[in-house]
Amino acid sequence: MPLLPALQDPTGSAGAREAVRFDETSLSYARLAAAADALAAELPAPGPVAVWALPTAHTVVAVVAALRAGVPAVPLNPKTGARELAHVVADSAPAAVLAAAGETLPPALAGLPRINVSTTAGDAVRPAPPEPSPESPALVVYTSGTTGPPKGAVLPRRAIAASLDALEDAWQWTGDDVLVHALPLFHVHGLILGILGPLRRGGSVRHLGRFSTEGVARELNDGGTMLFGVPTMYHRLAEALADPAGPEGLTKALAGARLLVSGSAALPVHDHERIAAATGRRVIERYGMTETLMNTGVRADGAPRPGTVGAPLRGVELRLVEEDGTPLDDPSAIGEIQVRGPNLFTGYLNRPDATAAALTADGWFRTGDMATLDPDGYVRIVGRKATDLIKSGGYKIGAGEIENALLDHPGVREAAVTGEPDPDLGERVVAWVVPADPAAPPPADELAAHVAAQLSPHKRPRTVRYLDALPRNDLGKIMKRSLHG
Ligand code: MCA
Ligand code: AMP
């Protein structure tokens, strides 16, 4: 089966069905196929191509065109700062960048041929291009590690198809579903689950452009059947439900949805319970990673259990292992999650060392997530192996890349970065800074702006704490565990 079957022959009523809607822009399947195929004909094979991934219909056309042409797409965060963008461009070496006409692109992309994306191009449905091989790379998605710059996870068509079909099975996801979300389109959650998911099923997606509780209420009350979000979004919905001045119709909207799904980070039990009490609906969680796509999930016909991420999805093998990699005897003990299955990536671009370190000889992926198993197989994530990974607003952020960016600032002599609990973001990036001149420490907002400009705004420190010296052990290693507010 092709990756996007509904685009194969979008004629008649199937072709007239709305595929995506962003504000005023609505594309039917016929329109999306025509625009994407017109663009696909222009793409330089074998690619890859970078996609300026604003939350717009143009991004959908660009990604679908690349998928139709069999050219790997590298979605770029349009807010990426100079240093990170230069790394992604150098590492992925795109043959062109795809963006809507009129978008101003940053200098790091100036050297690339530009191909303008139009949602109105193409006037006829062309014969479907031949389906590329299932193992061919579809997307390269950049994801942070503990140290160094982000790595490009190469995702084959096979993994995308397998993961989306496992979610179809778990959630009884059909072409009648209308998904509502406001996730960014340069990560797995928003792009693969949130856009390619509905397109694979022949259903519809309404993207809010940017998250708002009003937008969620409006779209769910206007035919939306499912909501996908990160825990920060559900936290804001829980707050809005409790606020007498919150958006009109929000309770009804959430109560009427078929599925409310949270992922990318742990949903706090408190927010889960507040939403359940106000709406009668329980949010269901699923657990995934950029490298593995989706691993577990609570089923639509299953029992949501706050604090758990459900059981392994169809086709996914999951086990817990000890520190030395041996599978745990006692399933109720804490171990690291390893997963194996058709949902896995093929490796990190240009990083055979990192790929080899992430996978065991027999193909298990080391997630770095620590968990226990409930007797019925539900997974409870209890923490992460690496203290140098921070999940803030659902974004994975490496402490090392922020420390390096801070050290580039002339006012910083030493820096350490940690994550601290935050009711809204889950974790908040905290920078511990030894100023070059103790009498004139660089202001916190200046350091935040510096990190935002070098890396990404979501990686900026939300709190800066100044120290005379960083705590170090006898070997000179920074003792991060003793850094807390
Ligand atoms: C603020 N801004 C700045 C600065 N300060 N810009 C430059 N310099 C600064 N110093 C800007 C920001 O860019 C943003 O711009 C606005 O101010 C607000 O920023 P922020 O406070 O960071 O955003 P927020 O409103 O708190 O965002 C919360 C959020 C967001 C909407 C929940 O965190 C989000 O979209 N999270 C989703 C992450 C995600 O999709 N993760 C999936 C990866 P502007 O106002 O223009 O926006 S995980 C994954 O894919 C796996 C597979 C999985 O399991 O799902
Ligand atoms: P990323 O690399 O950005 O794709 O993030 C993947 C990581 O997000 C996983 O390794 C987990 O630590 C975390 N994660 C994703 N979904 C969940 C969830 N439902 N509950 C807890 N953590 C999650």
- Could you report the per-residue pLDDT of 88-97, keeping only the tens digit for each? 999 999 999 9
Residue 187: per-residue pLDDT? 98
Residue 458: per-residue pLDDT? 98
Residue 4: per-residue pLDDT? 96
Residue 437: per-residue pLDDT? 97
- Mean pLDDT over 26-35 rounds to 96
Residue 476: per-residue pLDDT? 87
pLDDT grade for 57, boundaries at 50, 70 and 90: very high
Report the chain's C-alpha Rg in angstroms.
Answer: 22
Q: How many helices (H) and strands (E) does the chain have?
A: 13, 25
pLDDT digits (tens, 9 = 90+) for 388-429: 999 999 999 999 999 999 999 999 999 999 999 999 999 999
Q: Are 156 and 131 in contact (CB under 8 A)?
A: no
A 10 A CB-CB count for 145 gives 20
For the chain, what is the mean pLDDT? 96
Q: Does the pLDDT at position 331 exceed 90? A: no
Residue ranges of domains in the chain, CATH in brackets = 5-279 (3.40.50.12780), 284-384 (2.30.38.10), 389-482 (3.30.300.30)
pLDDT digits (tens, 9 = 90+) for 456-467: 999 999 999 999
Q: Are 452 and 435 in contact (CB under 8 A)?
A: no
Cis geometry, peptide bond prior to residue 2 (ω within 30 degrees of 0): no
pLDDT grade for 85, boundaries at 50, 70 and 90: very high
Ligand 1 centroid–CA 370 distance in Å is 26
Report the nearest atom of ligand 1 relative to the CA of 458: 22
281 close to ligand 1 (CB < 6 Angstrom): no
Ligand 2 pocket by C-beta < 6 Å: which residues? 143, 188, 263-266, 285-290, 309, 367, 369, 381, 384, 391, 396
- Mean pLDDT over 442-459 rounds to 98
pLDDT digits (tens, 9 = 90+) for 255-291: 999 999 999 999 999 999 999 999 999 999 999 999 9
pLDDT digits (tens, 9 = 90+) for 209-241: 999 999 999 999 999 999 999 999 999 999 999
Which position has the token pair 């507010």? 485
SS3 435: strand
Look up the pTM and report it. Answer: 0.97
Q: Are 128 and 2 in contact (CB under 8 A)?
A: yes
Under DSSP, the state recorded for 387 is T
**pLDDT exceeding 90 applies to what percent of the chain?**
92
Name the closest ligand to CA 381. 2
7 close to ligand 1 (CB < 6 Angstrom): no
79 close to ligand 1 (CB < 6 Angstrom): yes
pLDDT digits (tens, 9 = 90+) for 348-403: 999 999 999 999 999 999 999 999 999 999 999 999 999 899 999 999 999 999 99
Taking alpha carbons only, the member of 53, 110, 56, 103 closest to residue 82 is 110
- Mean pLDDT over 140-153 rounds to 94
Report the nearest atom of ligand 1 relative to the CA of 393: 33
Beta bridge partner(s), residue 22: 25, 207
190 close to ligand 1 (CB < 6 Angstrom): yes
Q: Are 379 and 371 in contact (CB under 8 A)?
A: yes
449 close to ligand 1 (CB < 6 Angstrom): yes
Ligand 2 centroid–CA 339 distance in Å is 13
pLDDT grade for 329, boundaries at 50, 70 and 90: confident
Q: Does the pLDDT at position 11 exceed 90? A: no
Report the nearest atom of ligand 2 relative to the CA of 263: 19
Q: Does the pLDDT at position 449 exceed 90? A: yes
Residue 113: per-residue pLDDT? 98
